[in-house]
Structure 1
Amino acid sequence: MLVFYRVLLVGFFSGILYVVHASFMANVIAASAQYADDKEAVYQNVLTWQPDHKEALSQLSVISLQKKSYENAVSFARQAIQVDPTNGRAMSVLITAYDALGELRQAEKALHLATKLWPSHAYVRVQSSEFWAKRGDMEKTLAEWDILLARHSAFYKDLFPILKVFVETEEYQHLLRPYFEGPALWWDRFFIYLTRQDTPIGIITEFYQNRLSEGSVVSLEERNAYVNRLIKEKQWSHAFSAWMGGLEKQERQSVSLVTDGDFEALLKPSAFSWSYRSRLNVKTKVVRVRGGQGKYAFKVTFNKRKPVTSSVLSQRLLLEPERSYTVTFKSKMEGLKNDQGIKWIVKCADQTHQVLSESIAVKGRSKWSESSFDVQIPEAGCSSQKLELVAASRFHHERFFQGSASFDDIKIEPMTLGQGKDSADDKS
C-alpha cells in the first residue's frame, strides 16, 4: 500500500511539474513572437504547449482577421473570450469577423454585449463605430465617437477632421446639436480646433452663438479661440464684443481706449487687454507700488543675456480712423542701463505694421513722471492698431538692457479741436 501511495504522489507531482513546465514554455515562446517573422507559427506553437493560452488565442484571432480568414478569427476569438471573459480585443475581433461573414444578428449581439461589459474599451468602441458607420447610422456612430473622445484624447487627431466635415455638411449638422448644447466633454477642444482650421467663419459664429443662446457656459479657452479667429478675419468689432462678453461686471469698468491702463483690474493677458510674457532676457509682471496712480503698476526687469527684439508690453487698440489722440503714461526708471532707452509706439496692426507715432525714450534713473505723445489714425488701412513698449534703437547691438522700469496710468484720449502741435503752429 505504501508503494502505491508513493507511485500516486510521484505521478501527481509529475503532472504538476509538467503543467508548470508547459505554461513556462508557452510564455517563453509567446514572448519571442514579437521578434519572429512568422508570428502565426509561433503562436500556434504556444498552443501545443498550452491550448488555453489567452494571449496566443487573442493574437491568432487578430492575425486571422488580418488575413481575412474570418471563420478562424471567430474560432480563436471565442476561445480567447472563454478563457478570459474580459478580453475586449478578442470581442472586437468577433464583432468584425461576424460582420464580414454577413452574420449581422451575431455581430449585433456581440456588439451589444461588448459595450455592456467594456463601456470604456477603445477597441470595442472603434469596432462599434465602424459597424454603425458601414450601415449609414451616423447617429449611433457619433454616439460611439462621443465616448471615444470623452475617454481617449488620443482620438482627437483622427476624429476631429471627420467631425469638421460633419460641421461643414448641412445634412449632418443637426446630428451635432446634442454635443454642443450639452456640451460634450470634448466640445471645447473641438471648437478650438475648428477656429484654427479653414472652417468658414459663418459656421463657427453660428455654433458659438447657439451655445450662448442655450445658456451654456462658454469656457475661457473657447471664447479666446473664437475672438482670435474673428481677429484673423479682421472682424474687429465682433471680436471686441465677444471678448467683452467674457468679462465680469467689475472688469468691464477697466475698459476704455486703453484697457486696464492703471493695472488695477489685474486682467489676464488676452486679445484686447495687455499682452506680455517673461523671457530669458526680460522679466515682466504687475507689482504693488508706491507713488504710482494706484496700488499696482507694470514692472519690467532686463538682463544683458540677449537683445530685446520684440515688444515688452503691448495692447490691441480700436481707434477711429481720421482722428487724433493723446497717449499719456507715467514711468519710473530704476537704473535702466541702455544709451537709447525704451519707448512707446502706436502702429497699425495690419500687414504693413506702419509706425504712426512714438514717445520720447526713457532710461537711466528717475522718480515717477508723466509723459505724452500724439497720434493720428489714417483714413484707411489701419482699422486696428497696437500700443507697444519697445527698445528705442533699431540696431541689434543697441538693444541690450540692464536694470528695471515701471509704468502706470497709461491712457489714450481723443484730442479736441484746438489741441495738438498742428493747432499750436496755426496759432503762431
Structure 2
Amino acid sequence: PAAAHAWAPQSAAAAADRAQQRFDAGDTVAATKLARAALIDSPLAADAYRVLAEVALKSGASAAAEARLRIAARLDPRDAATQAWLAAAALREGRLEPALWHLDAILRVHPTFGARLYPQLLALARAPGAAPAYRAVFAAHPPWGGDFFRWACAQPAAADASVQALFAALRALPGALDAADWSAYLDRLIGQQRWLPAYLAWVESLPPAQQRHLDNIFDGDFRYPPGGNGFDWRISYVPGVEIAVVPRAAATGNALQVRFLDQRAPLWGQVAQLLVLAHGRYRVSGQARLHDLQNDRGLQWMLSCADNGRLLGASARLRGNMPWHGFAFDVQVPAQGCGAEWLSLRLAWRIPAEQWADGRAEFTDLRAVRLAAGRY
C-alpha cells in the first residue's frame, strides 16, 4: 500500500487503505485525514466511508457511524462487515425487516455464511412482527431461502416454536415454499410423529385438483405421479425390481406395475403410503393382476402402525397367474398407539434365499373402507 500511495498519491483506493492502516495503528487523526482525501479524489470510495465510520464509533458517535456505513453499503453492498454492522444496529432499534434485508445482502454474496447466520435468522422468526418482515424478504426470492428453510426443518425439537413461526409466515406467501421445502417440513412433522398436523400440512401442499380426491388411501388408482412424501405414494429403488405406474391394458386408468427380474429382490416396504385412519375396523382392498409371478412365499400388502411397527393385517400372498381380480383383508386400528399407519407392498421373505422373484404384478383401485358395526 505504501508503494502504491507513493506511485499514485491521488489514488482513492490507496488513500483509503492507508487510512485503514493508520486507524488500526490507533492514529485516528491521520486516518480521518487520509479517508477524507480519498473521498475528495473519489466520492464513491466506500472503504473511506467505512474508515470514517470506525473513527466515529471509537469516539462514541454511533449515529454518525451508522450514517457513514449506510453510504458505504449503498456504494458497496457486497461488503459483509458493513451489512452485518447495519443489521445489528437495526435489530438493536427493533427494526426487523431492515435487519433481514442486510442479512439477505450478505447471504446473496457469501452463501457460505449461512452456517453462522441461519441460527440467528431462525431465532428471529419468533420476534414480534416477524411474519410480514420475512414475507417481504422472501417475496424477492432470495437464492438462499430454500436452503435456509430446509436447514431449519432439520433442527432439533427445541427449535419447534421458531420453525412453526417461520412456516406460518411463509405459507401465506404464494410460491415461497417449493416442493422440496414442503417435503422437508412434512418430514419434520412425520419424524416427530405429529401425524395430524403433518396430514393437514400435506393436504395444504397439494394442488386443488388432488385435494378433491382425498380418501383413506390417496390416489389408490394411481392417476397422479407418486409424490414421494407426506401421505402420498412413496416408491424407492429396489435391486432386482422395476416399479412404475403404467396405463392399464385394455382398460381406462393406471396401475402400479412391479416387475421382478429373475434375481434376488429385497422388496420390503419400498412401495408404501402413510395413512391416518381413525380408530375402528377397516377393509383394505384392491385389484391385482399377476403374470407368472414366481417367489417361494409370495407378494402381499401389509398394514402396520407407524408409531411402533405393530402389524395390523396383511393380504393373502400372491403368486402365479391371475387376471384382474379383487383382494381384501380386514384390520382393526387401535384407539391408542397407532396415530398413523403404513400400507406397504412386500415379498414375504424371511431369509435372503427367499428374496428371489420373477414375473410381474399389477395393482389398482386400492381402498381402505371403514366397516360399520355388524359387518365384521
Task: Please give the TM-score of this superposition, normalised by the length of structure 2.
Answer: 0.78
Q: Cα distance 1:112–1:201, how it changes in 2: closer, same or farther (>3 A)?
A: closer
Query: Residue by residue, what CA displacement relative to the aligned partner does 1:44-87 show, whole Å, maximum 9, x if unpaired?
Result: 56767777889887777777777767667667767777888777
Distance in 1, Cα, partners of 2:45 & 2:263: 58
Q: Cα distance 1:144–1:181, how it changes in 2: closer, same or farther (>3 A)?
A: closer
Matches within 5 A, 1:99-118: 99-102=57-60, 104=62, 107-118=65-76
The aligned residue for residue 244 of structure 2 is 285
The aligned residue for residue 195 of structure 1 is 153
Structure number with higher helix proportion = 1
Q: CA deviation at 1:270?
A: 2.4
Structure exhibiting the larger radius of gyration computed from Cα positions: 1
- Secondary structure in 1 matching 2:129: helix
Q: Structure 1: which amino acid aligns with 2:247?
A: R
Contact 1:88 1:123 in 2 (8 A): no
Q: CA deviation at 1:362?
A: 2.5
- Secondary structure in 1 matching 2:232: coil
**Is 1:408 equivalent to 2:367 in the alignment?**
no
**Is 1:166 equivalent to 2:124 in the alignment?**
yes
Q: CA deviation at 1:304?
A: 7.0
Query: Residue by residue, what CA displacement relative to the aligned partner does 1:120-172 show, whole Å, maximum 9, x if unpaired?
Result: 54454234335556x6565443341233345654333222211223234xxx3
**Is 1:272 equivalent to 2:231 in the alignment?**
yes
Distance in 2, Cα, partners of 1:64 & 1:335: 86
The aligned residue for residue 133 of structure 2 is 178
Distance in 1, Cα, partners of 2:57 & 2:28: 9
- 1:219 aligned to which of 177, 184, 189: 177
**Is 1:341 equivalent to 2:341 in the alignment?**
no
Contact 1:326 1:413 in 2 (8 A): yes
Q: CA deviation at 1:202?
A: 5.3
Q: CA deviation at 1:353?
A: 0.7
Query: Residue by residue, what CA displacement relative to the aligned partner does 1:211-241 show, whole Å, maximum 9, x if unpaired?
Result: 56x6755634444444444434434333322
Q: CA deviation at 1:348?
A: 0.5
The aligned residue for residue 240 of structure 1 is 199
Task: Please give the TM-score of this superposition, normalised by the length of structure 1.
Answer: 0.70
Contact 2:302 2:344 in 1 (8 A): yes
Q: Cα distance 1:96–1:413, how it changes in 2: closer, same or farther (>3 A)?
A: same
Distance in 1, Cα, partners of 2:262 & 2:49: 63
Distance in 2, Cα, partners of 1:152 & 1:410: 50
Query: Residue by residue, what CA displacement relative to the aligned partner does 1:304-329 show, whole Å, maximum 9, x if unpaired?
Result: 787526422111111222x2222122
Distance in 2, Cα, partners of 1:68 & 1:111: 20
Distance in 2, Cα, partners of 1:144 & 1:327: 55
The aligned residue for residue 24 of structure 1 is none
- Secondary structure in 1 matching 2:223: coil
Contact 2:101 2:137 in 1 (8 A): no
Query: Residue by residue, what CA displacement relative to the aligned partner does 1:188-213 show, whole Å, maximum 9, x if unpaired?
Result: 6544444332356455545545656x
Residues paired across the two proteins, number: 370
**Is 1:255 equivalent to 2:214 in the alignment?**
yes
Contact 2:239 2:265 in 1 (8 A): no
Q: CA deviation at 1:377?
A: 1.5
Distance in 2, Cα, partners of 1:248 & 1:384: 23
Q: Cα distance 1:240–1:106, how it changes in 2: closer, same or farther (>3 A)?
A: closer
Distance in 1, Cα, partners of 2:362 & 2:47: 62
The aligned residue for residue 287 of structure 2 is 330
Q: Cα distance 1:136–1:72, how it changes in 2: closer, same or farther (>3 A)?
A: farther
Contact 1:88 1:124 in 2 (8 A): no
Distance in 1, Cα, partners of 2:238 & 2:205: 28
Q: Cα distance 1:181–1:52, how it changes in 2: closer, same or farther (>3 A)?
A: closer
Q: CA deviation at 1:386?
A: 0.6
Contact 2:135 2:173 in 1 (8 A): no
Long gaps (5+) in structure 1? 1-42, 421-428
Q: Cα distance 1:274–1:89, how it changes in 2: closer, same or farther (>3 A)?
A: farther
Q: CA deviation at 1:258?
A: 0.6
Q: Cα distance 1:377–1:137, how it changes in 2: closer, same or farther (>3 A)?
A: closer
Query: Residue by residue, what CA displacement relative to the aligned partner does 1:233-287 show, whole Å, maximum 9, x if unpaired?
Result: 4343333223222333431232111110001133522211111133555443322
Q: CA deviation at 1:342?
A: 2.5
Distance in 1, Cα, partners of 2:333 & 2:286: 19
Using the aligned pairs only, state the percent identity. 24
Q: Cα distance 1:118–1:295, how it changes in 2: closer, same or farther (>3 A)?
A: same
Long gaps (5+) in structure 2? none
Q: CA deviation at 1:345?
A: 0.8
- Secondary structure in 1 matching 2:132: helix
Distance in 2, Cα, partners of 1:118 & 1:158: 22
Contact 2:272 2:345 in 1 (8 A): yes
